[in-house]
Structure 1
């Protein structure tokens, strides 16, 4: 059975990973040790006591309490600092890592992560709830071969004013929601190149946060289909929607769960003008982490998944460079299209 060390005690670490780990421990006692999770945050001390979490001051103290041979490290820090922390933990003997998406912020950071992983023989599992989603599995089964798909559009919308204004952990909108969608598109449609990309600034009462209002990416896939991601981080309405149009005329409209207090996805299947709705239990992060721990317990790295996440970072880097090199960016473009 495996214990857990959380590095990074912000929204991802204590708000997402920790509750799922508690549920997973109850449902899979053969994988998760019945002992408290240890946590450390290099950026800031914790402000409150969290049930089920024991906080230590630094990684060396965690190493004295946790045997690397039976520990999984969750790296929940911002992308820009993950390479350094990954190397520090690897030097302490840890080999199994769950890494928040995206695995790196750009190609330079990705190269560092690869070098550290290769040098220390690390087993990395990237957090990718949408790739482990029951909705994604169902859409893949219905859509079939990429050559049978004409186009896919993903819309991601939510209000992110407070986090953007108070937490500079992300430097552009391409790092927030788009990695979820991009991984799914690569799974459904295969490899791709970035065709167009744009991003907008977040504006609030005279304050401007560059590149954090939203983003768009259009892709051309090697197998033939086109896809588009539209992300609005200023929307008053939350939505995580994927629309798949097949060459046979079927339209699939899927809605991923948008909040922690609900784990039901919905899928509308349109054929010949008639709609059939399916409801799918979809606790995707639970599935993602459980699969990771099974892989760690069996010592079987998921090479295909890591290649997909590596390609995701490369395409995100391409999209960011293209968007930021644009001579003009209309401030309301992403919000207009993501509604």
Structure 2
């Protein structure tokens, strides 16, 4: 499958570009970015072509991988779908339900496949754990702590990200936590939110299944306090989230596999744009409920 890449930032450079260039079922056709000089440098590094015109890249590819801020990703994803390109998207899909819905509708109209790259859903170890817990009945409650130190450690390549500074942990790591909890506990019919220190946000979710869950999300945690922990409690006892078994490159390769399979079979992937829309709508509801 011929893949183009939209985006030239740290995530594109460390994961998307090497993932596309190394995957046996992907032909890395070219890259477009909002900064032409960065696109040229990335293309040179990975032996592909830099495009000045995004529509020209879309015309030359079967699928598009996007590593751009969500407000930029959503309209370009809809544009790519309209051009007949399958979509390998990043989380969050968008920062409004309206924009996310446009992507879903464009993909549906064009009949293209979509996959949203929620890292934990494509890491072999954590994805297996999620699938195993989703098959168990009787979960009572869960908690998820997704605490990063992007803005407090001083050495993160994402600390200069304008959209992360504007939208904070709710939109950056919130999708990760929801991508783990929703497949296990099911849809949510009520969410409340409260602010903590820095950009920290606490969410309480009531699931249609009757279970409840709580999330603590931050990009400003002190470095010694940073980390990820998920715990489920129910009739089967207590289980905890395993550490990821591989790096982002291995997970991204599995996301490419998933898109290629979905495009070939016509069967939607569980992490398609429609799931991305559900996550976006939940986060939007949570954001609107936060006190000023």
How far has the Cα of 1:124 moved from its partner?
1.9
Going by fraction, where is helix more abundant, 1 or 2?
Answer: 2
Q: Relative to 1, partners in 2 of residues 1:17 and 1:309: Cα closer, same or farther, differing over 3 Å?
A: same
- The residue that corresponds to 1:112 in the other structure is 102
- Whichever of the two has the greater Rg, that structure is 1
So what's the TM-score if we normalise by structure 1? 0.73
The CA distance in 2 between the partners of 1:302 and 1:143, in whole Å, is 16
The CA distance in 2 between the partners of 1:253 and 1:63, in whole Å, is 42
- The residue that corresponds to 1:274 in the other structure is none
- Between 1 and 2, higher relative CO (CA 8 Å, sep ≥ 6) is seen in 2
Whether contact under 8 Å (2:126, 2:243) holds in the other structure is yes
Range moving further from structure 2, 184-193 or 40-49: 40-49
Q: Secondary structure at the match of 1:169?
A: helix
The CA distance in 2 between the partners of 1:164 and 1:51, in whole Å, is 22
The CA deviation string for residues 9-64 of structure 1, in whole angstroms up to 9 with x for no partner, is 112322222222344x2xxx3x223xx44100125630744234432222144256
How far has the Cα of 1:164 moved from its partner?
6.2
How far has the Cα of 1:8 moved from its partner?
1.1
- The residue that corresponds to 2:277 in the other structure is 310
Q: Relative to 1, partners in 2 of residues 1:287 and 1:77: Cα closer, same or farther, differing over 3 Å?
A: same
- The residue that corresponds to 2:246 in the other structure is 263
Whether contact under 8 Å (2:113, 2:259) holds in the other structure is no
- The residue that corresponds to 1:234 in the other structure is 220
Q: Which of 68, 72, 86 is the aligned partner of 2:63?
A: 72
Is residue 225 from structure 1 mapped to residue 211 from structure 2 by the alignment? yes
Is residue 55 from structure 1 mapped to residue 38 from structure 2 by the alignment? no
Q: Secondary structure at the match of 2:45?
A: coil
The CA distance in 1 between the partners of 2:196 and 2:157, in whole Å, is 16
How far has the Cα of 1:304 moved from its partner?
7.4
- The residue that corresponds to 2:129 in the other structure is 138
Q: Secondary structure at the match of 1:288?
A: helix
Provide the alpha-carbon RMSD of the alignment.
2.7
- The residue that corresponds to 1:188 in the other structure is 184
Q: Relative to 1, partners in 2 of residues 1:139 and 1:113: Cα closer, same or farther, differing over 3 Å?
A: closer
- The residue that corresponds to 1:12 in the other structure is 11
So what's the TM-score if we normalise by structure 2? 0.83
Whether contact under 8 Å (1:143, 1:149) holds in the other structure is no
Q: Structure 1: which 5+ residue stretches go unaligned?
A: 203-212, 265-281, 328-339
Is residue 42 from structure 1 mapped to residue 41 from structure 2 by the alignment? no
- The residue that corresponds to 2:85 in the other structure is 95
Is residue 151 from structure 1 mapped to residue 150 from structure 2 by the alignment? no
How far has the Cα of 1:305 moved from its partner?
4.1
Q: Which of 224, 230, 239 is the aligned partner of 1:252?
A: 239
Whether contact under 8 Å (1:106, 1:317) holds in the other structure is yes
The CA distance in 2 between the partners of 1:140 and 1:63, in whole Å, is 34
Q: Secondary structure at the match of 2:68?
A: coil
